[in-house]
Amino acid sequence: MTDAFTLHHGDCLDVLRGMPDASVDAVVTDPPYGLSFMGKRWDYDVPTVAIWSECLRVLKPGGHLLSFGGSRTYHRMAVNVEDAGFEIRDQVMWVYGSGFPKSHNISKAIDRSGKATPAAQQWDGWGSALKPAHEPIVLARKPLGEKTLAANVLEHGTGGLNIDGCRVGDENMSAQFDREWNKQGAEFGFGNGLRASKGKKVPDGRFPANLIHDGSAEVVELFPRAGEKSAARFFYCAKASKADRDEGLEAFAEQQRAFFQTGNGTSGKPSSIGHYVTQCNTHPTVKPTDLMAYLIRLITPPGGVVLDPFVGSGSTGKAAIREGFKFIGIEREAEYIAIARARIEAAHV
């Protein structure tokens, strides 16, 4: 525990129940998707209504939640969030180009001998799944504690979205923001591009949208390049790099493991295009720090406290500390808590 962050090793429901009411400003998390990913026990279900109810309780009135979900199980996660008492405000889509299709070849399954039988030929080209290319993120808000949004912001400091602080420029957003805004507190909500217009300062950049992409050529090519229709109008950042994953883990032993990369930074079993990588961070679903920083900035007021009840390897905490926020994290799995702590401590300089 430090003044900047607190990291709990334990079940999130137990830890949350010990936290005071209305004690955090925002919840940003990448929880289990309920896909049994790589056979991990922690991914056998989405977070329960009870967990989201505790997140609601510890949030200040009007505080926002941003939570990733799987494309197949998002509905179950979002319904649980709503049943806990949150207001669903929007769905943010993270679109990426590096997802790996896990489709079952029906033709080959029919004739495992490899011979082109009539039945196998009939179903040639048929499979069982699409290529994954997006992840949904629920944007939800705790009901306001005051009669109006303006009154709630003045009373609790929560309820609004940091539109100007998350405006999108024409370059990679990791270089677009002036992070001193949060430390100084002088220009709440504004990024680094300010220009004079009729004697007033107004922010540069496009209004943030409910679509985010990874900047890959495959995704960018989907957008017309002319003027206002450019992909640059949406926030983007690259997937988690090895340097990002392993930053702060210099004292950890590297491990070689079979790996294929998907758009959300997940890795899995070997495939025909898989390979082996050497990494210190062994968590299979690492989100890029720049992406988590953008999401945190969007919903957290200056000096605010960010909560992540499913810390994993600590990307949310790393991003929160880097951006000048306070952070509370909870992680149940012993194999990841040390990794998370080291990555977050490395950002606390």
- CATH of residue 204's domain is 3.40.50.150
> In 3D, which of 35, 32, 37, 38 has the Cα closest to residue 80?
32
User: Terminal CA-to-CA distance of the chain, rounded, Å?
Assistant: 15
Residues 108 and 236 in one domain: no
Distance CA 299, CA 316 (A): 13
Distance CA 252, CA 278 (A): 12
* Any domain includes 258: no
Distance CA 312, CA 332 (A): 8
Write down the H helix ranges in the chain.
12-17, 49-58, 74-83, 106-110, 118-122, 149-156, 180-184, 217-220, 242-246, 289-299, 315-322, 334-347
Residues 79 and 33 in one domain: yes
What would the pLDDT profile of 300-340 be if each residue is shown by its tens digit?
999 999 999 999 888 899 999 999 999 999 998 888 888 88
Residues 117 and 93 in one domain: no
Residues 82 and 140 in one domain: yes
- Cβ burial of 217 (10 Å; 0-12, 13-18, 19+) is exposed
Residues 171 and 215 in one domain: yes
Residues 116 and 152 in one domain: no
What would the pLDDT profile of 12-62 be if each residue is shown by its tens digit?
999 999 999 999 999 999 998 876 554 555 446 799 999 999 999 999 999
Q: Which pLDDT belongs to residue 279?
A: 59
Residues 81 and 137 in one domain: yes
Distance CA 68, CA 292 (A): 11
Are 31 and 135 in contact by the 8 Å Cβ rule? The answer is no
Residues 123 and 231 in one domain: no
Are 16 and 54 in contact by the 8 Å Cβ rule? The answer is yes
When divided into structural domains, the chain yields a total of 2
Range of the domain at 123: 104-130
Residues 219 and 173 in one domain: yes
Residues 84 and 165 in one domain: yes
* Any domain includes 177: yes
Distance CA 313, CA 211 (A): 25
Residue partners of 199: CB distance under 8 A and separation at least 6: none
* Any domain includes 305: yes
Residues 210 and 126 in one domain: no
> In 3D, which of 79, 8, 75 has the Cα closest to residue 314?
8
**Which residue positions in the chain have pLDDT lower than 70?**
1-2, 35-44, 113-114, 170-203, 225-230, 237-285
Its pTM surpasses 0.95: no
* Any domain includes 71: yes
Q: Which pLDDT belongs to residue 280?
A: 54
